[in-house]
Structure formats: C-alpha cells, structure tokens
A = this chain, B = another copy of it.
Amino acid sequence: MVRIPPEVDVPLTTRVRQLIDAGDFRRLARISQLGLVSLVYPAAIHTRFEHCLGVYRLGLLYLKQLSHDERFSAAIRPEQAEVFIAAALLHDLGHWPFCHPIEDICLPSVPSHELFANSFILEGEIADVLRHDWDVNPRDVVALLSEKPRDAASRILHSMISGPIDIDKMDYLFRDSLHAGVPYGRHFDQQRLLGSLCLNQSGDGLAITDKGKTAAELMVFARYVMFSEVYWHHGVRSATAMLQRAFYLLHGSLDLDALFRMTEREMIEELLVAGEISPAGELLDGLFGPTRRLYKRLAQYSFIEHRDFYERLARRPYPWLVACAEQFAAAVSTVLGRVVAPHEILFDAPPVKKEVEFNVDIHFPKEGVYRPLGEVSPVIHTLATQQFDDYVKRVRIFAHPRLIEDLRRLPNLPELLDQAITRTE
C-alpha cells in the first residue's frame, strides 16, 4: 500500500511494486505533471509518478464497478482486464518533460508520446516484468494504449483510458487542482460518476446512467474551469510561449530521442547548454535560470474581444505564427527606433488541434434509451462547441519585460499587427 493525496491508499501487489520500482517508471518521479504551470502555481510540482498511481487506482475502481454490469463481464475476459490494469499504470510512460507544449508545435521530428511509450514497454525491465510476473504480453499493452481498437472489448477498455470520462482525466483534474491549490477540478462527485458507469447501447464503449448525468456535466464543467484558470492561465501561456519558441529555435541541433528519455531536470540542463549560443538562451534563462523572469502580456484577443485579430491568428501552424511575430518585431523596431530582437516578441494562439468533444452517452433505464450528453444537456453542448476553444483559449502577444513599458505606449499597435499578419500571409 502506498499513500498519495488526498488521503488515498493505493494498493500495491508485489508485481505492481516491481513495475513502479523499475528505472523507466521511477523516471516519472522526476517529471512533473504540469511542467511550466509551477512558475505561476508554485506548489503544482506533482509528478507523473503520483498521477500514474492515481490512474491505476481508478482503473481498479472502474473494473470493480463495471464487474457488476453483465454486458461488461461478458465482454471482457480476465486476461484483458489484466492488460487494462497494466496499461492504466503505464499509460504515461512515454511522457517526456514539457510534452504537451512541445507536441503542440507539431514538428515532424517529434514523435507522439503515445508511440514513444512503446519503446519503454516493449523492451527492458518493464517488458520483462510484464512477461514474467504479470503473464502479460507487452504488445497487448502497447496495442491498448496506442492502436486504434478493433473489437468491442478493446473499444470498451480504450474508452476507459481515453474518452470523455476516462480514468486519466478523472485523476488529473482532481490532482492538478489539489496541488495548484484551487478548488475547480476537485468537486465533480467522483463517487457518483463511478457508481453510474455502464456500457453504451452498442456495447463497445463507456456510458453512464442518468443517475450520473449531472456528475458528468460537473466533470466537463470542471475541466473547462481548469483550462480557464490553470492550463490556459495567461502567465502559464507566457511561459509556454517562451519554451515553445526556445525549443523551436533549438530543435534542429538536439538529439530528440535522447532528450525525450531524460528526467525534467536533465532536459532543462541539456536545453540550457544548447541555448548558450542561441537567442533561445535568454528565453530559457527566464524560465529556468536563477531568477524567474516571464514575458509580459502586451495584448490579448478573443472571440468576444477583437474577434477579427483572434480569427486571423488562431489555429495557425506554429512556424507561421513565428514568422508573423518576427514581422511584428521588425515593424516595432522601426517605430521604436531601437532593435527588438525576434525572440523578444512571442505570439501565442490556440493550436490547430481542438479539444475533444464530450460525446458520452447517457443511459435512461426507465425509458430504455441512450442519448448523447450533448443532446440532453444544452450546457454541455455549448461548452463543447463554443466556450472551450473560443472563449478560454485566447490569442496573446507577449514581450520581454524590458520592452513592455515602451510597447504599451505604442499608439498604433492594431495597425502594426494588421501589417504583420498581412505580410506573413
């Protein structure tokens, strides 16, 4: 047994202990769950190791609950449940430090972290323990985690790990909220959600009974608030934009495969060394150097404020965004009559990929029907189609703190931005 917040015992058997004591898994104890968020919420330094224990525990609870469902019991054999448990524990094994911001740049040389996980699972100590102590084929774990499920059983198990009410989200919303010190992701009635898990109409995915409908709405809403207040907090976005630009500048000279196997501290050291002879160095120094120094917000555009700029900048490819920021930096240099270096202006915008929608089915046993959550809950429909991507995520321009006062006095910012966009297109 091992204890993690919030006062929860995670049951450990010998074979689970063997997995989590393995070097490749221990590595997750040196990768933080939220990366740059801790520059704004200083206590949010919890690790992927802790998160994985939480997900594994929820995996056990999901199985226990669903074992009362006849269709589930008929569909899932015990060996498949074992694979699911291993997958729950190992689902984040391919997560390298600062994985999400780096993936959002969409560089062709960067693998997906799901695929990257395979190398940790298919070889080495983890693979050995799975084969010998779990009697589980590592390929089955990999298949569940990173391949498109091809039969009903796989689709069910896959939806438990990755879907609108999966064990991953259920843990991270709570855990991120707890460690950040905010209430937003902690109060979605996990107990009720667990108690209302069932299969969907076609028997190939998770659904919930109508008793859990408001609990599901609460969880979707909690996720929205966590995006709004934590994951897309403007200070967090400033740090993210700094790291993304630095990584973008450096990535050609980095050994990514080696880099993505490092702990967070090792990766930081590696980046700092690489940045020594690059403008990236200054960006990295503000994030990871002795003194914290984040870029400041110069302007902000959203769906309801300056929708025009918002729509011209959102969901652009990252290289385009960099080019546009550089155009803007050049224009500003002229106006100010001094050199504004390209890396001193950062454009941050919602990435190409939208957040997934929330299409879980609700089962109404009295009426004998299943309906999508979005249909029985206008609020969820609105969240999914409008608020999440268009209201929470904003376009922002960040600038080096040394420039910010001068830039804020510029009378013709909109014109300069308009020009920069036009020139980039």
Contact = CB atoms under 8 A, between A and B. Distances in A.
Most buried by B among A7, A184, A304: A7
A379 B218 CA distance: 13
Per assembly, the copies of the chain total: 4
Contacts of A3: 41, 43, 180-182
Interface stretch (A46-54, A249-257, A334-342): A46-54
Nearest to A226: B214
Interface string A259-278: 00000010000000000000
Interface string A74-102: 00000000000000000000000000000
A13 to B, nearest CB: 15
Nearest to A41: B3
A320 interface: no
Nearest to A178: B5
Given A5-B178, A42-B29, A187-B186, A377 B367 contact: no
A5 B406 CA distance: 37
Contacts of A195: 9
Interface stretch (A137-145, A348-356, A380-388): A380-388
Closest 9 CB pairs of A and B: A23-B290, A187-B187, A5-B181, A382-B382, A3-B181, A378-B386, A43-B50, A4-B43, A4-B181
Interface in A6-52: 6-9, 21-24, 26-27, 29, 38, 40-43, 45-47, 49-50
A5 B183 contact: no
Interface in A287-309: 289-293, 304-305
Contacts of A383: 379
A7 to B, nearest CB: 5
Interface in A172-195: 178-184, 186-187, 189, 191, 195
A178 B5 CA distance: 7
Contact of A6 (B4, B45, B181, B293): B181
29 contacts: A2-B41, A2-B42, A3-B180, A3-B181, A4-B41, A4-B42, A4-B43, A5-B179, A5-B180, A5-B181, A21-B291, A21-B292, A21-B293, A24-B290, A26-B290, A29-B38, A29-B42, A45-B45, A45-B47, A183-B187, A186-B187, A218-B221, A221-B221, A221-B379, A224-B379, A378-B382, A379-B383, A379-B387, A381-B382
Contacts of A45: 45-47
Interface in A387-424: 387, 391
